[in-house]
Each structure stands twice: as C-alpha cells, then as structure tokens.
Structure 1
Amino acid sequence: MRILHTESSKGWGGQENRTLNELITMRARGHELAVLSRPGARIIERAKEAGFQTFAIDMRGAVDLPNILRLRSVIKFFRPDVINTHSGRDTQLAGMAAHMLWNRPRIVRTRHLALPITSKFTYSILPDHVVTVSRFVEHFLAASGVPRSKITTVPTGVDFARYDRTSIAGNLRQELGLPTEALLVGTIAILRVKKGHNEILDAVPLILKRFPNAHFIFAGDGPQTENLKKRIATEGLGDHVHMLGLRRDVTNILASLDVFVLPTHQEALGTAFIEAGAMSLPVVATNVDGVPEVVQDGVTGLLVPLQNGLAVAEAINRLLADPICRESMGKNAAEFVRRAFSREVMAQGMEQLYMRLLEVR
C-alpha cells in the first residue's frame, strides 16, 4: 500500500512519535509511506532523517483554498491508497482535497487526545474511519456522537529494541555532576500545564525532607519553560531540580532514573509510561483518562488523584524507600508493555484496518 501521513502540528510530542513509529514499522512490512506537514515541522525533520519522502505545505486555516489545491496536487503526485491524518486542520484540508478527486484514497483520522472534539464534521463526515489510541478515547468519541462502527482502537506501539537497560550507559548522574548514590526521579514530557510539572514541584520539598539526596529531572521543552524556571528559582529548588530541555537521548535519561513520574491532568493513553515501563521503571501517574490502560496500580506503578502534590510526594517516597518494590514493579512494567504495546502490534492493527477499508472500496 501507499500511505500518506499528514500532520498540521509543528511540535514534537506523543502523537508525532507514534506517527514516526508507524512510518518505520509499516515500511518494514513492505509499504511505501510519505509525510506531509507544515514548513519547519519536527515530524518532517525526523521523517527525512529516517529516509521518508516529505512534503511541506503551510496549512494556515481550515478553509484555505490555495493550500487545498496544493494538497490535491501532492495527493495526485504521490497517489496514496490511504491518507492518515493526525490533527484537526490537516484532517479538514487533506480531507477536502481528497474528496475533490474521482478515485480518491481512503481517509483515516487518528485521534490521539482525550479532549472534547471541536468539529464532528472531521470525525463523522470527512474520514472513512477513525483510529483511537485507547479504549477511553473510543468511548469518549462514541459518547460524542461519532458512530462506533467507524471507530477502531489501535494502541500506540513502541520500538522496544531501543529499550535495553543493560546496554545503555544511563550516565545522567555523571553529566550533572551528581554522586552515584543520588536518587533520580524524572519525567520526559512537553512542558505544558496539563502535564503536571507543578504538582511535581509541589512534591519536591516533601520528598527532600525524607530523601535529601533526591534529584528531579525535567526533560522536554514547551510553553511553560520560563514559568517553571522562575518557580524553581523563586523556591530555591535549583540544586535539586534539573531542566534538561528537549533531548534526543530519551533511553539514556530513562536508564538513569530510579522512578518515573508524570502527574498528567489528561492523557489519551500515555506513550511516556510505555517507554518508562520498557526500561523497567516503576511509575507514578494520575488515575485519569486512558492512563489506567497503561499503568496497573500497585503492579507496574502507583496511581494518584488528579492535581494532588501531596499524593505525588507520598507515592514517590513509598517507591524511593523500597528498592525491592521498585525493582518488582519495574519488572512487571517491562513484561506488560512489551506484551501489549509493541510497534509491530500497532502496525499490524493499522495494516488490517487499511486493507479492510480498501476492500470495501
């Protein structure tokens, strides 16, 4: 099959990471793939590095006739069997461009978010089918009026070949000049309010009272960068909270940690929890949306109430105080995520859906 992925977001997060994993794994299964996004988008940069054909169009708005025509030209040039869209704007533009063609490709929209939908048109009318990354999102869309017959859940998959803790240095302590006995608690996520970094900062003083050798790692960038830096400085936490910015060495960071924490306010599924589990890390997460589909409370990690810094501190303290519990939960997490969330399982699910839609055509 020939598959064109479209994305109107210029940033890099869980949905772009999933898209790249789909590209790589579907290519290995013999399909031809390309990416269309906006100029300067990180998905184009990463796709080019991986050897995929890319197209750049400035998708300025939902009703943008010149760019709809440009999209139609790309579709006619690449001749995809399937267009897989990933955000609202590219779904509208690519969907309208495809519907202008006589023998049009099938249109699949992947819904990555656990948020209210803003346009039922981009779920029920434009696409032929909607893919959700978790059962929670599937139920959410169905409750919002999208026909359940048009929805399929294909959980996000991860390339587990990259997550072998025995072969990764995990040298973050050396990089930061910390002693080998320092306890590292970290998160890797875009710096947005809803990712819960402020709840981690709420918890830091409570944890340091019990574990003065604990250090906290924030990897990622985003709109809250300056606000978080200011709070860390104001509260005198700079010696124990380390902001690393956007990093490519995710596995090295994870291999350095003792506990992974992400008290997110909303999460469709949570690729970060899958990656942490793959590195045999116990996690502290909020009991919200699709997170319980990835984190098994008391088995692979600990689930805490939403926006509760005290609960985050108590959960982290519990894990830091019990190395045996940390090791057991980490082992359980690795076994669970490798069974349920491999990118091969994800690619097989997407491939079966595409083929079913093409058979109907």
Structure 2
Amino acid sequence: MITVIHVRNSNYPGGVETTLLGWVKEANREAFNHRLFIFAEPKGVHLRSARVMRDQGLDSEVLPWGVYKNLFGAVKQLVGEIRRSPNPIVHSHDTRADVVGLLAARITNAPFVISNHAWHAVGFKRWLLEFIRAQVMRFADYVINVSEDTHKETVRRGIDPAKSITIYSGIDLSVFLDAPDKSSARASLGIDPGDFVIGDIARLWPEKAIDKLLDATSLLLEKHPNVKTLIVGDGPLEQELVDYAKARGLESHVRFLGFREDVANLLSAFDVFALPSSAEGTPMVIYSAMAMALPIVASACSGVAEVLEDKRTALLCPPADATAIAAAISSIIQDPDLGSRLGAEAKQVVFQNYSAEQAIRKLEDLYRRLAHAG
C-alpha cells in the first residue's frame, strides 16, 4: 500500500478540490490510500473545504496554522503522519503546502511531488508566492503541470525539464450522466423559461476577470434584453463585484449565487458557459461544461487553448476582453445551431480524453516509480 499525503491551503473549495475528488474516486484503493491535510485558518474558513472533501469520501485532516502562521507546528504534525504511513509520498498543491510539504518530506526522506495548476501572478503578493514556489520546485522529485503551457513556464523558471511533466487533471465524468434537465434546473433557481442564461463558476479572484463578464453582460443587454448572468462561487472580491454590478445597473440581470456544491444542476440551467479569465491553468469547470455539452465562450489562455479548439469545441477570445466575449455570446444567441454543434463536439472530446480515470492511472504510475526508487 502506498499512502499519498496531499497538502493544500483550501479556504474556498474550487477546481483543485474537484480534481482531488475525481482522482480519489477513480484510484486503485487496493494499492493507494489518499489523505488530505488542510491548513487551519482564522474564523474557521477552512472547515467548509474539509467538510466537503470528507462528505465526498476523501479522508481530510487539519494542520495548525492560523493567524500566527505556525510553520513549526504544521511541519511537526505532517512529519508524524508521514512516519505513521506505509510507503508515504507527499503531494502538495500550492505555495504554503509546498514549503511545509518539502520540509516534512526532507525530514522523513519521503518522495515529494508538486502539482502546478497555473502561473498567473496578479500583484506583488502573488508574484512573491510564485517566486517562492519556483524555488521549492527545484527540490521536488517531480513537478506535475496541468498543461503544456504551464510546463513550459515551469522550465523557463529554472526547473529541470526532466523533473517537469504534464498530466491533464481530468474530471469525474459520472457526475454529469444523471444531471437534471434544463427546465427543472431553471425552476430550482427561479429562472424564467424565456431567459438566455450566461453562467460562470469560479473563485472570485482577480485573475478570473468576473468584472469583464459583467461588462459583457451590459453590452449584450443592448441587443438581447432577456440575458441573465449567474455568477457561482465566492472569494475575496465578492462584495466588490456585487457593488460593481449595482453601479452598472445590472441588479435585475445578474445574480451572485455564492458557493454551491450542485455543479451539474447549475450547469444544466445555463445556455452558455463563459470563462473571461485574464490567466488560467486548465480550470476544472471547463471540463464540466464540456461534459454537459454546453457551448463555451472562453479566454484563449494557457491550458484553456490546449483543451478547447476555437470554432470546433468553443469560441475563444482574447483574455479578459469584454467586447469579444459579448460578441461571441451574441453569435450563439443568434445561431442556436452553432451552440449545439460546439457543445456536442466538446462533450465528445472530454469523454475521450479528459477523464479522472485517465489522469489517476498516469499519477499512479508516477507514484509507483517514486515508491520503488525509495
């Protein structure tokens, strides 16, 4: 039995958590035991992530951290868990987890891998975190990138190309096989049958460029007054975005639904999925929208442009370009057959190439090599 100890700073459940749940569901349970360690945060904001992960079947525990940034306590607890685990491998998923994971792995001589979900520093703090992350990566056994573009940037930042690999995250596709029909999903959200619904599911961070989707909504309303935009997710910019929507007079056309776990139900209610981001890795919600055969309008950045093909499986736009997003969505409103063709092709591609089962088999091969090497 190989024990994979995942470490994650998880305040707001998002794509990384969806990735982990998909991997665990498809994992070889006879050969691998996956466990997750989440850092404690002030006001207990980490507890929701821990609950969501436990409810979905991933053994999750909390590492000390809090307002005093208890690095020693977190490393000490993780070292103890590693020493109690058979054939441990430490797998970290963000900068804080990288630092704690590396220290604990070196103390215990356990293999150490890093999942790199994106490079997209916005502001000095994020730049500093990515700088620290790049330094830690030099000491990892492997860096697992979610796209070729992310891999290239990892190598550009000085990581040994032999240690930097690409494994597309994949998604648990079974979740979308029994999704509710559109009318039921819309009724549950109080949406009128005649509305055209644009949706995005994202953590509300700067790089998600939700303000650009609000700008696009304003432009679309000039020609399509039945447009409604649903923003699903929470994060530090939530109130700022709510205020921005009010300032633009969009209160009756934009709804902020907060954090939701019923992703398939929400996607069923959408007519188009929009991803206006200024930077991305390969967001899990793209796979979800593809699995639901939704027409997608997305920024052509990093892994997004690797998974989606313009005019075949999506309409791709320059990153964070409200005018281009609005124009692409308008073309789908005016030509429903275009949307249907894009959605059908995208669904076929995701089921063929991007399942969680495909991803976890590749990861398990890597884990085995590391365990045997030790």
- Please state which band the TM-score falls in when normalised by the shorter chain: over 0.9
- 2:84 counterpart (77, 98, 101): 77
Structure 1 residues 153-172: aligned runs within 5 Å: 153-164=166-177, 167-168=180-181, 171-172=184-185
Letter in 2 for 1:194: E
Q: Is the 8 Å Cα contact of residues 147 and 302 (structure 2) preserved in structure 1?
A: no
Match of 2:32 in 1: 31
Partner deviation per Cα, 1:269-288 (whole Å, 9 max, x = no partner):
12111110110011111111
* Structure 1 ranges of 4+ moved more than 4 A: 27-30, 60-63, 165-170
Match of 2:338 in 1: 325
With over 3 angstroms needed to count, the CA separation of the structure-2 counterparts of 1:251 and 1:203, relative to structure 1, is same
- 1:145 counterpart (154, 158, 164): 158
Deviation of residue 98 (structure 1)? 2.1
Deviation of residue 63 (structure 1)? 8.2
Q: Is the 8 Å Cα contact of residues 9 and 87 (structure 1) preserved in structure 2?
A: no
Deviation of residue 164 (structure 1)? 2.6
- With the length of structure 1 as denominator, give the TM-score of the two structures: 0.93
Q: Percent identity?
A: 27
With over 3 angstroms needed to count, the CA separation of the structure-2 counterparts of 1:54 and 1:253, relative to structure 1, is closer
CA distance in 1, matches of 2:90, 2:181: 37
- 2:295 counterpart (253, 261, 282): 282
Structure 1 residues 9-24: aligned runs within 5 Å: 9-24=10-25
Deviation of residue 297 (structure 1)? 0.4
- With the length of structure 2 as denominator, give the TM-score of the two structures: 0.90
Match of 2:125 in 1: none
1:56 and 2:62 are equivalent in the alignment: yes
With over 3 angstroms needed to count, the CA separation of the structure-2 counterparts of 1:276 and 1:52, relative to structure 1, is closer
Q: Which runs of 5+ in 1 are unaligned?
A: none
Deviation of residue 16 (structure 1)? 2.0
Structure 1 residues 1-361: aligned runs within 5 Å: 1-28=2-29, 30-39=31-40, 40=44, 41=46, 42-59=48-65, 64-101=71-108, 104-115=109-120, 117-119=130-132, 120-125=134-139, 127-164=140-177, 167-168=180-181, 171-361=184-374
Q: Is the 8 Å Cα contact of residues 64 and 70 (structure 2) preserved in structure 1?
A: no
With over 3 angstroms needed to count, the CA separation of the structure-2 counterparts of 1:207 and 1:197, relative to structure 1, is same
Letter in 2 for 1:123: M
Letter in 2 for 1:111: N
CA distance in 1, matches of 2:284, 2:58: 23
With over 3 angstroms needed to count, the CA separation of the structure-2 counterparts of 1:311 and 1:232, relative to structure 1, is same
Deviation of residue 57 (structure 1)? 1.2
CA distance in 1, matches of 2:62, 2:162: 33
CA distance in 2, matches of 1:228, 1:5: 32
Query: SS of the residue aligned with 1:335?
Result: helix
Q: Which runs of 5+ in 2 are unaligned?
A: 122-129
CA distance in 2, matches of 1:292, 1:247: 27
Letter in 1 for 2:266: I
Letter in 2 for 1:121: Q
CA distance in 1, matches of 2:277, 2:95: 22
Deviation of residue 187 (structure 1)? 0.6
Q: Is the 8 Å Cα contact of residues 279 and 319 (structure 2) preserved in structure 1?
A: no
CA distance in 2, matches of 1:105, 1:50: 27
Q: Is the 8 Å Cα contact of residues 165 and 255 (structure 1) preserved in structure 2?
A: no
